[in-house]
Chain A
Amino acid sequence: EPEVTQTPSHQVTQMGQEVILRCVPISNHLYFYWYRQILGQKVEFLVSFYNNEISEKSEIFDDQFSVERPDGSNFTLKIRSTKLEDSAMYFCASSQPRGGADYGYTFGSGTRLTVV
């Protein structure tokens, strides 16, 4: 079964450093997403991306965050200057509408970001 692949599985970074979280969505999917989950809290939407641009973003997704699809396979989330409160699991997801309907997202297994 096709998978969404995320790397690394765990990233430790110092406060103020830049991090890039990487995702390889399912190959024929066209819609891409980032979510995050702070330990013990809900899964929160960050951003959606389609046709090489952001289609929607949440309040969490401020100027410190950016997304990019640098080639035909990767989808990245960059945090410019990490803060302690950015520590969380970050999940990438992708979807592909079929027949005019949208059948939901496939999520990756996540990257645990720890900011120290």
Chain B
Amino acid sequence: RKEVEQDPGPFNVPEGATVAFNCTYSNSASQSFFWYRQDCRKEPKLLMSVYSSGNEDGRFTAQLNRASQYISLLIRDSKLSDSATYLCVVNIRTGANNLFFGTGTRLTVIP
């Protein structure tokens, strides 16, 4: 069973739309949560951390539900530049504190 599961998409949305991505994780020892963004043929880069109380960074809102082991990312007012793959990432603090990545959800914002 994968540590992190994501809907791979693709999600094709018009500019200005609101889109939500979901992710589930299987290990209850997961302690930290993140969303990374990966552009085509580039390396992943941190988009935002996800805190228990939920957090917002401009048009992006991340939420965590520990009871359901569920993480979400909401993007409001989508821009063409938001087109990328969004990776859900968890840090499992058993042993070496490794990061585990979901397969990613691909978003294309259409003019």
* Interaction A to B: no
Q: Which residues of A contact B (CB under 8 A)?
A: none
